[in-house]
Structure 1
Amino acid sequence: MSKSKEYVTILIFAGKIVENLHFNPFCYNWWLAQSINKNPTHIPLLLIRVYSSPTEAINTCYEKVFHSNAKFSGPQVMGFDNSDIIQQLLDNIIFCLYMISFRKLNVIMLGMGKLKKPEWNYTGEEYKSIFQSYYDNTKSAFIQEVEDEECVVQIYTNNTLIRTYNAIDPDEVWLCIGRLSNYSRKKLFGLENLYTQICIQQAQIPSCMVSD
Structure 2
Amino acid sequence: MHITEGNENSEILPGYRCHSGSKFSDIETAPSYAMTSLYQRIFSDSKAKFSGPFVLGWDNKEFLEVSLKDVHFQAFAIRIDGKILVYITNISVGEQKNTIENYTASFIGEYNRKRALFVQIIQSENYKISIYQKDNEPIIFFGSTPTET
| TM-score (normalised: structure 1) | 0.46
Cross-structure match for 1:192: none
Q: Is 1:25 the equivalent of 2:13?
A: yes
Q: Is 1:155 the equivalent of 2:136?
A: no
Cross-structure match for 1:111: 90
Question: Higher Cα Rg: structure 1 or 2?
Answer: 1
Of Structure 1 and Structure 2, which has the larger fraction of its residues in strand?
2
Q: How many residues align?
A: 129
| TM-score (normalised: structure 2) | 0.62
Cα distance in structure 1, aligned partners of 2:113 and 2:107: 16
Cross-structure match for 2:99: 122
Cα distance in structure 2, aligned partners of 1:70 and 1:140: 28
How far off is 1:141 after superposition?
0.9
SS of the counterpart of 2:108?
strand
**Contact 1:26–1:159 (8 Å) recurs in 2:** no
Cα distance in structure 2, aligned partners of 1:111 and 1:101: 17
Cross-structure match for 1:79: 57
Q: Is 1:100 the equivalent of 2:74?
A: no
C-alpha distance after superposition, 1:71-106 (max 9, x if no partner): 995333321211233345445868421001111211
**Contact 2:104–2:121 (8 Å) recurs in 1:** yes
Cα distance in structure 1, aligned partners of 2:72 and 2:62: 19
| Higher relative contact order, chain-length normalized (CA < 8 Å, sep 6+) | 1
Cross-structure match for 2:141: 165
**Contact 2:121–2:129 (8 Å) recurs in 1:** yes
| Structure 1, unaligned runs of 5 or more | 1-12, 31-47, 174-212
- Alpha-carbon distance change, 124 to 72 in structure 1, aligned in 2, over 3 angstroms: closer
How far off is 1:169 after superposition?
2.0
Q: CA RMSD in A?
A: 3.9
Q: Percent identity?
A: 22
C-alpha distance after superposition, 1:43-66 (max 9, x if no partner): xxxxx73x4287x58xx68xx5xx
Of Structure 1 and Structure 2, which has the larger fraction of its residues in helix?
1
Deviates more, 1:142-151 or 1:86-95: 86-95
- Alpha-carbon distance change, 133 to 68 in structure 1, aligned in 2, over 3 angstroms: closer
Cα distance in structure 1, aligned partners of 2:118 and 2:127: 13
SS of the counterpart of 1:169?
coil
| Structure 2, unaligned runs of 5 or more | 18-29
How far off is 1:150 after superposition?
1.5
Q: Which amino acid aligns with 2:86?
A: V
**Contact 1:17–1:93 (8 Å) recurs in 2:** no
SS of the counterpart of 2:92?
coil
